[in-house]
Amino acid sequence: MSHEKKRILILGGGFAGVYTAMYLEKAMFWGERDQYEISLVSLENYMVFQPLLPEVISGTIEMLHVITPIRRMAKRTRLHTREIVSIDLERKVVTLGPEFLPKTKELPFDHLVVALGSRLNYDMVPGMREHAIPFKYLGDALRLRTAIVQVLEEADNESDLAERRRLLTFVVGGGGFSGVECIAELHDFLISAVSSYPSIKVQDLRVVLLQSADRILPELGASLAKYAQNILEQRGIEIRLQTRLSAVTAEGAVLQSKNSTEPEFISARIVVATVPAAPHRLVEQLPVEKDKGGRVIVTPEMQVAGTPNLWAVGDCAAVPQPDGIMSPPTAQHALRQAHTCASNILATLRGTPMRRFSFTGLGKLASLGHRSAVAEVMGIKLHGFIAWVFWRAVYLSKFPGLDRKWRILTDWVLDIFLPRDITEVRIFHADSVSREHFHTGEAVFEQGDFGDKLYVVVKGEADVQRDGQSLATLKNGDVFGEMALISDQPRSAAVMAKTPLDLISISRDAFDKLVTHLPGVKTSMNELFQARMAVVETLSKPPPSNDLPS
Amino acid sequence: MSHEKKRILILGGGFAGVYTAMYLEKAMFWGERDQYEISLVSLENYMVFQPLLPEVISGTIEMLHVITPIRRMAKRTRLHTREIVSIDLERKVVTLGPEFLPKTKELPFDHLVVALGSRLNYDMVPGMREHAIPFKYLGDALRLRTAIVQVLEEADNESDLAERRRLLTFVVGGGGFSGVECIAELHDFLISAVSSYPSIKVQDLRVVLLQSADRILPELGASLAKYAQNILEQRGIEIRLQTRLSAVTAEGAVLQSKNSTEPEFISARIVVATVPAAPHRLVEQLPVEKDKGGRVIVTPEMQVAGTPNLWAVGDCAAVPQPDGIMSPPTAQHALRQAHTCASNILATLRGTPMRRFSFTGLGKLASLGHRSAVAEVMGIKLHGFIAWVFWRAVYLSKFPGLDRKWRILTDWVLDIFLPRDITEVRIFHADSVSREHFHTGEAVFEQGDFGDKLYVVVKGEADVQRDGQSLATLKNGDVFGEMALISDQPRSAAVMAKTPLDLISISRDAFDKLVTHLPGVKTSMNELFQARMAVVETLSKPPPSNDLPS
């Protein structure tokens, strides 16, 4: 590679980034191929076809068919599948994190295209990061599917009615496109799956959609949104408007309705989060002008004003449409932005005039599962089966790559006459050191429980109880639960959250490794253990006064 | 459920266990259904169709199509998808581990069928647990596939030739059925995948099969094994006979040939382990007579002698055939054992005579990938394309469930004209607290490397070097690497293994949590940091004498 080449570097492997690379490849003249070098950085080597992602939940589409390899779409683009550590606009260098070797890698650029999309904002809802299943990436769809089958398996054998109810309750936060399509497919899958679970009936299921606005699908006109709501409600999905998720725990969702001051708790093992969005960490750090949503403000030429070699496209960019409205975060807009961006980068390199982004949207489509959809296309409103056929036809035609089109079509055909898959692929394991959130009054564990973790209080207070009597209060920095790990006995006391409670939990396996090998841990654990044992001995004679549970 | 019911409890969700349940269901009279209750415990809710698992590596079969839901196969069996904690033969109770709630569950039984299979024995080869990818379960096939794409992605951009060579070298340990089928599919996949990687050529790949015996496929006759070896070698697969894997590190495999006293090191990022097998932990603990391989010795009636309500089937059982040979661990034998076992449990309950296991095997089949196979069926030897068609026909016909047959057939048809999938689904994340193994002379990290982990020496010795000079020796219990985490600087020195070296590594993220929250860690890390800083300050003036790296 000669250093004379102009280097165009694209960050992000979503629609916006990959199509910018594709349009660049297409629009380049034959002679320009040696002059310009296109590189793209994406942690994943595939692009997710987001509109069909919900179908992975129900298993209508095989999980690997909803993604397509980036290097088959953009064949003359150099792909780097690493994490991005930093963007240096001054030095014109992007630094990538290490992969197999513990060495970072620097990619210099002449033109930089930022197409990093958005991420779920976990920080606004306590416990969301720890206990909610996000719904945005392929891994999320897979994790959600696995979790659904897992709760069905447990519920089928559960004799405790409250726990059974909790296992069979599903809460989805967010009533936009993503939340609605997610809950529709989730519900579809549940309905077909329960037939394999002899003790679970359809009426045992509770599926709840939370929407903070006063209607679902605010992206669509009111009449279509109302139609969609009726369809979902007829199927038995509970829709809670003007209600938002205010906290998530391992045992359920805390709801806050606009019409009430009291929070409500819904017992549920599966809580899915589809909102809110936040800018990518690297976009947050970028020293350029942003709108209040944290998106990079660009000109209609997709350029960051004042920085002629910096471009932004897709969900991370605030792109003005000709009608004055900002471009919404959809695939169709990302595609056209990518086209404008690619043309204008080449125009800049060639010294020819640039073009302006002039797309205002073709229409809007939302699948409601169960062979039903709503659509608003060029002013025409469609709903029901017709809209659903239209929905499938549009997305199949838009799916990149002939091979994937074939595979998806095959999936759809097989889905007509083969049963839904109910295998639970347990490939996700809980991390050995993780955070947990509990709401006021919730039990961290009960007396007599199996002891598999040690906890450290990070924030909030917890009450230690034995046989219903309060023994002690735990605060920030307090360690508990280690005695069950050391002595291999059931929990000798219960621990209840007195306030909203954040904990760090350490698994038995990691605890064993740490105690054995990390200096300081063994000593302090020994001291703690001796102190506890002394208390326990005192307790066995007079009435209890103060104790910490094992 | 009445307690009068006789409870038959099956442990294990492989061929042996699931087919025992199916044959029990089938052989029960209508009136017996209320008298007998069948339960099965399997951590996964599906059975893996092992013979086709290698095809998941190449992507010929979609990963979810090689598994089939247990509850669709054995519809009247109660399935429990939890880990088994213990088996109590005295009390006739099996205890299951907790799932969502931290509570264990007890399952009482009248008859117990142990069908727990075998596991890979990690303890015999240092570093195997930490760095080799096992090939036995569905998750393994998926992990292997992801790892293969990951090394291709990295190799395509790697300018360091030694690292590039390491990334493109693949070692498979074990030349039995499993190892041969694994390497054949792995090689097939590599050949078709490299066309998408512009800078990788087929001749850059190195694929090595290790076999400790003096020929591959000892399960087959010598002539077929020779044929298979020729086929694989013609494709460019290196076969190393009389050579075994003696250690695995993050950077490669240590080999030991029978003809040499010196170990050999092959630099490789992917090392796959298919041997050796060991008994399941619960079978190890079972207080019954076992053979030298740790398998439960049973009568030809599949019963554990002296314990009329204890049965063992499949790979965990030593089952005598009528010809005096012990039943080999194959699916066809497991199926017939399950049949005998189910009949005899019912015979015992009914008080009718038992039957004896009388199967000696129908034949042997091994796929060699690339539309080629070897087979030995009722004395007839087949090889090449004919054997391959036979191989596919046999397994398709044996695959349980009509829906899965259809899906597999579709996969095979699509595979003829669609390209292989090269998506890398990164759903596996390294655990935050893990073990690592290094061989003598190998670098844990180099000076200037990116610092993302802290290490504790568990076994062996390491040398700290700065600018080529040895500064200190690290031994059992020593901590190193924490300074790069605390100060966010590159590694200030290199650390090399002086002997075979076992370490515990703790990721930056887990380290931050532990330092912040776990008592004792902060103090001891602070002390360490102060001591290091003092040494560094001393060092910055006179020539270095003793130092530990960041």
The tens digit of pLDDT for each residue in A505-545 reads 888 888 887 777 776 777 777 777 677 666 655 555 444 44
Please indicate whether, in this complex, the C-beta atoms of B433 and A514 are within 8 angstroms of each other.
yes
What pLDDT is recorded for position B1? 43
Please indicate whether, in this complex, the C-beta atoms of B426 and A196 are within 8 angstroms of each other.
no
Site from A57, A107, A413, A421 to mutate, B interface, most B CB atoms within 10 angstroms: A421
Please indicate whether, in this complex, the C-beta atoms of A431 and B431 are within 8 angstroms of each other.
yes
Q: Does A494 touch chain B (CB under 8 A)?
A: no
Helices (H), B298-365: 331-350
Please indicate whether, in this complex, the C-beta atoms of A426 and B43 are within 8 angstroms of each other.
yes
Q: Residue B486 has what DSSP assignment?
A: H
Question: Would B547 be classed as within a structural domain?
Answer: no
Q: Does A443 touch chain B (CB under 8 A)?
A: no
Residues A204 and A315 occupy one common structural domain: no
Q: Does B528 touch chain A (CB under 8 A)?
A: yes
Question: Would B67 be classed as within a structural domain?
Answer: no
Partners of B250 on chain A (C-beta within 8 Å) are 100
Q: Residue A442 has what DSSP assignment?
A: -
What pLDDT is recorded for position A244? 94
Residues A353 and A381 occupy one common structural domain: no
CATH number of the domain residue B311 falls in: 3.50.50.60
Residues A247 and A390 occupy one common structural domain: yes
Q: Which residues, at least 6 apart from B200, have a Cβ–Cβ distance to it below 8 Å?
A: B152, B155, B156, B168, B194
Site from A1, A130, A150, A157 to mutate, B interface, most B CB atoms within 10 angstroms: A157
Residue A3 confidence (pLDDT) above 70:
no
Question: Would B449 be classed as within a structural domain?
Answer: yes
Please indicate whether, in this complex, the C-beta atoms of A477 and B517 are within 8 angstroms of each other.
yes
How long a stretch of residues is chain A? 550
A/B interface, count of CB pairs below 8 Å: 228
Residues A317 and A354 occupy one common structural domain: yes
Q: Does B450 touch chain A (CB under 8 A)?
A: yes
| Closest by CA position to B12, among listed B89, B117, B97, B91 | B117
pTM for this model (two decimals)? 0.89
The secondary structure element, H or E, covering residue A391 is helix A385-398
Question: Would B549 be classed as within a structural domain?
Answer: no
Q: Does B420 touch chain A (CB under 8 A)?
A: no
Residues B375 and B403 occupy one common structural domain: yes
Residues A326 and A404 occupy one common structural domain: no
Residue at a domain's end among A337, A361, A385? A361
Partners of B167 on chain A (C-beta within 8 Å) are 100
Partners of B481 on chain A (C-beta within 8 Å) are none
Q: Does A252 touch chain B (CB under 8 A)?
A: no
Question: Would B484 be classed as within a structural domain?
Answer: yes
What pLDDT is recorded for position A537? 59
Residues A453 and A529 occupy one common structural domain: yes
Q: How does strand A307-312 pair with strand A111-114?
A: parallel
Partners of A491 on chain B (C-beta within 8 Å) are 102
B104, B95 Cβ separation under 8 angstroms: yes
Residue at a domain's end among A361, A385, A404? A361
CATH number of the domain residue B443 falls in: 2.60.120.10
How long a stretch of residues is chain B? 550
| pLDDT (mean) for A277-302 | 95
Distance, in Å, from the CA atom of A295 to the CA atom of A279, rounded to the nearest integer, reads 7
Partners of B249 on chain A (C-beta within 8 Å) are none
What pLDDT is recorded for position B185? 95
Please give, rounded to a whole number of angstroms, the shortest distance from the CA of B494 to a CA of chain A.
12
Residue at a domain's end among B361, B380, B397? B361
Please indicate whether, in this complex, the C-beta atoms of B477 and A519 are within 8 angstroms of each other.
yes
B151, B199 Cβ separation under 8 angstroms: no
| Domain total in chain B | 3
Partners of B474 on chain A (C-beta within 8 Å) are none
Residues A93 and A221 occupy one common structural domain: no
Of B72, B102, B425, the CB nearest to A445: B102
Distance, in Å, from the CA atom of A383 to the CA atom of A381, rounded to the nearest integer, reads 7
What are the backbone dihedrals phi and psi of residue B155, each rounded to the nearest 5 degrees, phi first? -60, -35
B508, A102 Cβ separation under 8 angstroms: no
Q: Which residues, at least 6 apart from B138, have a Cβ–Cβ distance to it below 8 Å?
A: A425, B44, B46, B48, B53, B56, B63, B66, B67
Domain span at B37: 6-43+81-119+279-361
Q: Does A43 touch chain B (CB under 8 A)?
A: yes
Give the nearest chain B residue to A72 (CA atoms): B196
Question: Would A293 be classed as within a structural domain?
Answer: yes
The secondary structure element, H or E, covering residue B538 is helix B521-540
Of A410, A458, A479, the CB nearest to B519: A479
State the Cα torsion A39-A40-A43-A49 to the nearest 10°: -150
Partners of B429 on chain A (C-beta within 8 Å) are 431
Q: How does strand A380-384 pair with strand A237-240?
A: unpaired
Please give, rounded to a whole number of angstroms, the shortest distance from the CA of B226 to a CA of chain A.
37
Distance, in Å, from the CA atom of B493 to the CA atom of B473, rounded to the nearest integer, reads 13
pLDDT in tens, chain B (550 residues): 445 799 999 999 999 999 999 999 999 998 899 999 999 999 999 999 999 999 999 888 988 899 999 999 999 999 999 999 999 999 999 999 988 888 899 999 999 999 999 998 888 899 998 899 999 988 899 889 999 999 999 999 999 999 999 999 999 999 999 999 999 999 999 999 999 999 999 999 999 999 999 999 998 889 999 999 999 999 999 999 999 999 999 999 999 999 999 999 999 999 999 988 899 999 999 999 999 999 999 999 999 998 999 999 999 999 998 888 899 999 999 999 999 999 999 999 999 999 999 998 888 899 998 899 999 988 899 999 999 999 999 999 999 888 889 999 999 998 888 888 888 877 666 667 888 999 999 999 999 888 888 898 989 999 999 988 999 999 988 889 888 777 778 898 999 999 999 998 888 888 887 777 776 777 777 777 677 666 655 555 444 444 555 5
Q: Tell which B residues from 464 to 493 touch A, by Cβ distance under 8 Å.
A: 477, 479, 491
Q: Tell which A residues from 285 to 314 touch B, by Cβ distance under 8 Å.
A: none
Q: Is the dihedral of CA A87, A88, A91, A97 positive or negative?
A: negative
Question: Would B521 be classed as within a structural domain?
Answer: yes
Residues A535 and A469 occupy one common structural domain: yes
The residue assigned the tokens 């989730």 is A186
Residues B439 and B290 occupy one common structural domain: no
Residues B350 and B369 occupy one common structural domain: no
Please indicate whether, in this complex, the C-beta atoms of A452 and B428 are within 8 angstroms of each other.
no
| Closest by CA position to B45, among listed B10, B80, B74 | B80
Q: What is the mean pLDDT of chain A?
A: 90
Please indicate whether, in this complex, the C-beta atoms of A521 and B517 are within 8 angstroms of each other.
no
Q: Does B161 touch chain A (CB under 8 A)?
A: no
Please give, rounded to a whole number of angstroms, the shortest distance from the CA of A140 to a CA of chain B.
9
A422, B45 Cβ separation under 8 angstroms: yes
Instruction: List residues bridging with B459 in a β-sheet.
Output: B502
Please indicate whether, in this complex, the C-beta atoms of A414 and B418 are within 8 angstroms of each other.
no
Whole-Å CA distances, B140 to A146, A251, A412, B132, B148 = 17, 31, 28, 11, 12
A114, A317 Cβ separation under 8 angstroms: yes
Question: Would A1 be classed as within a structural domain?
Answer: no
Distance, in Å, from the CA atom of A106 to the CA atom of B488, rounded to the nearest integer, reads 18
Residues A105 and A146 occupy one common structural domain: no
Q: Does B197 touch chain A (CB under 8 A)?
A: yes
| pLDDT (mean) for A226-234 | 96
Please give, rounded to a whole number of angstroms, the shortest distance from the CA of A364 to a CA of chain B.
29
Please give, rounded to a whole number of angstroms, the shortest distance from the CA of B423 to a CA of chain A.
5
Q: How confident is the model at residue A69 (pLDDT cuts 50, 70, 90)?
A: very high
Please indicate whether, in this complex, the C-beta atoms of B513 and A156 are within 8 angstroms of each other.
no
Partners of A197 on chain B (C-beta within 8 Å) are 71
Distance, in Å, from the CA atom of A217 to the CA atom of A227, rounded to the nearest integer, reads 10
Please indicate whether, in this complex, the C-beta atoms of A419 and B72 are within 8 angstroms of each other.
yes
The secondary structure element, H or E, covering residue B365 is strand B363-367
Please give, rounded to a whole number of angstroms, the shortest distance from the CA of A361 to a CA of chain B.
31
Please indicate whether, in this complex, the C-beta atoms of A68 and B419 are within 8 angstroms of each other.
no
CATH number of the domain residue A168 falls in: 3.50.50.100
